[in-house]
């Protein structure tokens, strides 16, 4: 069975882009107009760039114009998933997507509303943890370079990541600002940092929960597959009786990684197949009998409108084979495969090479996958959405949360970890917002405040059962023993629809019809 190590399924925002490396001797017609040849187009491109260089009222970057031509050529294909990646974006995808590791410090960072870089949580066993960096610390300098995002400096979050990452065993010096202390410097040695893609926990009644945020890693000994296998083994060791696989907001990743996850549940048949214009991109990915999750374990897969591509491969395979049921909302609908083609010194092309099909031969491109049990998460009305946006833009909740944390640190001398203490003050804060003509629901205010609280104090919450109606539904289905019944109902419905369709076809073909 062939393997394309650079083939992957991933949701990509359309960025328009091109490949215009045309052989200068090509004389075939390049358009519907036989008078226009590729040679003419090549000459026209060179002439257009030269004319701009000579006559434009400001200096022109020739390299930028040629790169723009490449972008435009790929955009002309009319496919949102075919585009040019910059050299930095390509390198980042090699680290985060293919290798699932990089040289770095193991620290999660984010910008606050002023443009300063803040630490949310050092990863366990990394240089950042060894150096005792804390959630809430600010990184003000890297190797003496001032860190501040915004138009004034032109610095972006990617620029900061570039400064923090580097070759393993190289040193980097951070200047750190911690509350109530003078700024201090700390020297760290970069190490190999694994990119996390899986979180898990055991819910009530021995229901295992595994969330996959992306499908990464071309090496089966690392990346998503290894993380997933460890989480699944831990649940089995703890006596797991059912499993919830959460693929919500998972926008995709590597095809092979998704295939191996689905293969852990499905013992026969084809999990996914691909078909392209070139036969070398046609492939079937078969299931293997040595599954990791026993067939008697009920499976519920959570999906939503942001579950795309690689996550749709897993969801589609589990639904089509009857191995489990889907709960949530209709998925995004990205049923095509991309391969990366490096362009030396420029970046790489993401090029769509094939379509993929679920086990029953269905292409879900642009149609998505409908869950057997539809559960729509709460969505506020338009007025509430506008008010929420105003509150966020004013940084009202962020200021309230960070001020409360600061006062609590002053009072106790420790970073608070109990959101419940802050939560008791939210009704009064909501009244204050309402007086400022910013009425918002207490539900949203609590969710937003808890997210910001956890980010500032370094808490990673795996699930939030209080507000997660889709997860609540999945648990209730499992507890009621309805997974098998739902699968059987779905099979019966499909068979009925198939028979009805055949009868309608027979009627249409009957004499005199």
- 301 lies in the same domain as 368: yes
Give Cβ neighbours of residue 357 (< 8 Å, ≥ 6 apart): 272, 273, 274, 275, 335, 363
482 falls within a domain: no
Q: Decide which of 6 and 222 is more confident.
A: 222
Q: Is residue 120 a contact partner of residue 133, using CB atoms and an 8 Å limit?
A: no
Looking at residue 440, its pLDDT comes to 97
**How many CA within 13 A on the CB side of residue 8?**
23
- 257 lies in the same domain as 393: no
Domain count, the chain: 4
Kindly write down the DSSP assignment for every residue of 373-416, as one continuous string.
EE-PPP---HHHHHHHHHHHHTTHHHHHHHHHHHHHHHHHSS--
Looking at residue 27, its pLDDT comes to 40
Q: Which range is least confidently modeled, 24-38, 297-311, 340-354, 383-397?
A: 24-38
Looking at residue 161, its pLDDT comes to 95
Tell me the pLDDT band of 9, cut-offs 50, 70 and 90.
Answer: very low
pLDDT tens-digit series, residues 232-245: 999 999 999 999 99
Give the structural domain span for 142: 101-194
106 falls within a domain: yes
- 206 lies in the same domain as 167: no
Residue that terminates a domain, selected from 442, 457, 472: 457
Catalytic sites, residue numbers: 309, 320, 334
471 falls within a domain: no
84 falls within a domain: no
Residue that terminates a domain, selected from 344, 374, 404: 374
Q: What's the CATH code of the domain at 210? A: 3.90.226.10
- 207 lies in the same domain as 310: yes
- 316 lies in the same domain as 216: yes
490 falls within a domain: no
How far is the C-alpha of 321 from the C-alpha of 386, rounded, in Å?
43
Average pLDDT over residues 400-406: 95
Give the tokens for residue 419.
């959101």
pLDDT tens-digit series, residues 188-206: 999 999 999 999 999 999 9
255 falls within a domain: yes
- 187 lies in the same domain as 271: no
Tell me the pLDDT band of 13, cut-offs 50, 70 and 90.
Answer: very low
Tell me the pLDDT band of 31, cut-offs 50, 70 and 90.
Answer: low
pLDDT tens-digit series, residues 163-183: 999 999 999 999 999 988 899
- 208 lies in the same domain as 327: yes
395: left (phi over 0), alpha (psi -120 to 50) or beta: left
- 270 lies in the same domain as 367: yes
- 166 lies in the same domain as 136: yes
Q: Is residue 296 a contact partner of residue 272, using CB atoms and an 8 Å limit?
A: no
- 141 lies in the same domain as 116: yes
495 falls within a domain: no
How far is the C-alpha of 178 from the C-alpha of 135, rounded, in Å?
9
Rounded mean pLDDT of the chain? 91
Q: Using alpha carbons, list the distances in angstroms from residue 469 to 302, 368, 376, 391, 408.
A: 11, 21, 8, 25, 32
SS (H, E, C) 429-442: HHHHHHHCCCCCCH
- 209 lies in the same domain as 269: yes
Looking at residue 17, its pLDDT comes to 27
pLDDT surpasses 60 at 10:
no
For CA atoms 473, 475, 479, 482, the dihedral sign is positive
- 223 lies in the same domain as 185: no
505 falls within a domain: no
Q: What's the CATH code of the domain at 154? A: 2.30.42.10
Looking at residue 5, its pLDDT comes to 39
pLDDT surpasses 70 at 252:
yes
pLDDT surpasses 70 at 418:
yes
Residue that terminates a domain, selected from 194, 209, 237: 194
């Amino acid at each position: 069975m062939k393997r394309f190590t650079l083939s992957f399924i991933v949701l990509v925002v359309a960025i328009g882009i091109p490949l215009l490396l045309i052989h200068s001797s090509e004389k075939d017609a390049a358009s519907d107009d036989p008078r226009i040849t590729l040679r003419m187009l090549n000459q026209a491109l060179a002439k257009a760039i030269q004319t701009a260089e000579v006559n434009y009222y400001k200096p022109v970057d020739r390299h930028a114009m040629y790169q723009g031509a490449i972008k435009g050529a790929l955009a002309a294909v009319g496919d949102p998933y075919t585009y040019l990646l910059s050299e930095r974006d390509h390198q980042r995808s090699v680290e985060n997507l293919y290798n699932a590791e990089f040289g770095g410090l193991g620290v999660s960072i984010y910008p606050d509303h002023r443009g300063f870089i803040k630490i949310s949580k050092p990863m366990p066993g990394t240089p950042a943890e060894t150096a005792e960096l804390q959630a809430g610390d600010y990184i003000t300098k890297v190797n003496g370079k001032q860190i501040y995002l915004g138009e004034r400096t032109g610095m972006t979050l990617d620029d900061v990541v570039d400064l923090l990452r580097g070759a393993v065993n190289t040193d980097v010096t951070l200047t750190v600002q911690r509350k109530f202390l003078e700024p201090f410097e700390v020297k760290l040695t970069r190490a190999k940092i694994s990119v996390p893609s899986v979180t898990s926990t055991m819910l009530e009644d021995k229901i295992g929960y595994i969330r996959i945020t992306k499908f990464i890693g071309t090496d089966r000994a690392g990346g998503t597959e290894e993380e997933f296998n460890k989480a699944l083994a831990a649940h089995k060791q703890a006596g797991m009786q059912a499993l919830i696989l959460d693929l919500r907001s998972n926008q995709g990743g590597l095809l092979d990684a998704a295939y191996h996850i689905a293969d852990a549940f499905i013992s026969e048949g084809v999990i996914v197949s691909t078909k392209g214009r070139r036969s070398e991109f046609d492939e079937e990915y078969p299931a293997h009998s040595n599954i990791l999750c026993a067939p008697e374990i009920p499976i519920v897969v959570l999906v939503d409108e942001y579950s795309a591509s690689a996550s749709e491969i897993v969801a589609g395979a589990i639904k089509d084979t009857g191995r489990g049921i889907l709960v949530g909302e209709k998925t995004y609908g990205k049923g095509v495969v991309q391969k990366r083609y490096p362009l030396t010194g420029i970046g790489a092309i993401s090029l769509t090479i094939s379509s993929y099909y679920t086990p029953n031969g269905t292409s879900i491109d642009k149609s998505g996958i409908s869950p057997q049990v539809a559960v729509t998460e709460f969505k506020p009305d338009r007025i509430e959405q506008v008010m929420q946006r105003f509150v966020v833009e004013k940084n009202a909740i962020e200021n309230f949360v960070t001020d409360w944390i600061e006062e609590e640190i002053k009072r106790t001398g420790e970073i608070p970890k109990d959101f419940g203490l802050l939560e008791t003050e939210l009704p009064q804060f909501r009244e204050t917002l309402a007086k400022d003509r910013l009425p918002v629901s207490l539900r949203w205010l609590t969710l937003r405040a808890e997210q910001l609280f956890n980010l500032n104090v370094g808490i990673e919450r795996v699930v939030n059962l209080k507000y997660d109606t889709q997860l609540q539904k999945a648990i209730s289905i499992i507890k009621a023993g309805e997974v098998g019944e739902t699968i059987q109902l779905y099979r019966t419905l499909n068979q009925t629809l198939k028979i009805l369709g055949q009868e309608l076809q027979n009627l249409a073909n009957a004499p005199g019809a």
